[in-house]
Amino acid sequence: MLLLQKIALENGYTKIMLGSCASGIACHVLSATVKGHGYSLPADVQYVDTRWDVPVVLPLRDVLAQELSLLCELDSLKTQQLLDRPCRGINSLVASFVARLREENPSREHTILRTAQKLKPFSFNKFSADGYHDFLPSRLRPKDQIEDYLLEDDDVGK
């Protein structure tokens, strides 16, 4: 992330959009939990992360890896497959575990993601009026933020 931030600052970019999909984030949630890095999970699973100088946006957060592969195939885009290596670490073990869960029930990755999303986001992950919400589906905004927005609109009319 530091390297991406350095490149973005050098080139004057205003946002970094990562291609992390639901499948990858589900693996990250489980491996971070196993490693004891659960404190940062609320920040890692949100659409927007403004901790950095250049904000990071995850527009593909709700798309499964299989869906993404199918879309790339339909658009005739080339994709790269990772080499199958023996499991040597926690990340590999978690990835194989999530793959087995996916075989039983493809919605498990979304379930893991929804469970992690219930963690209270940090202030730098909140939707704000500075335009980061343009990349996000409005149907997925947290209820308390929608209520705050509606209350602000009601106050304007008075």
CATH for 114: 3.40.50.620
Quote the pTM value: 0.68
Share of the chain above pLDDT 70, in %: 73
- pLDDT tens for 38-70 read 788 888 888 888 888 899 998 888 888 888 888
Residue 87 near residue 93, CB atoms below 8 Å: yes
Q: How many domains does the chain have?
A: 1
| 22 pLDDT more than 80 | yes
Element (H, E) at 57: strand 56-57
As given in the structure block, the two tokens for residue 82 are 């990772």
Which range marks the domain in which residue 113 is found?
A: 2-157
Residue 8 near residue 54, CB atoms below 8 Å: yes
Calculate the alpha carbon distances from 19 to 59, 76, 79, 103, 143 in Å: 7, 18, 13, 23, 26
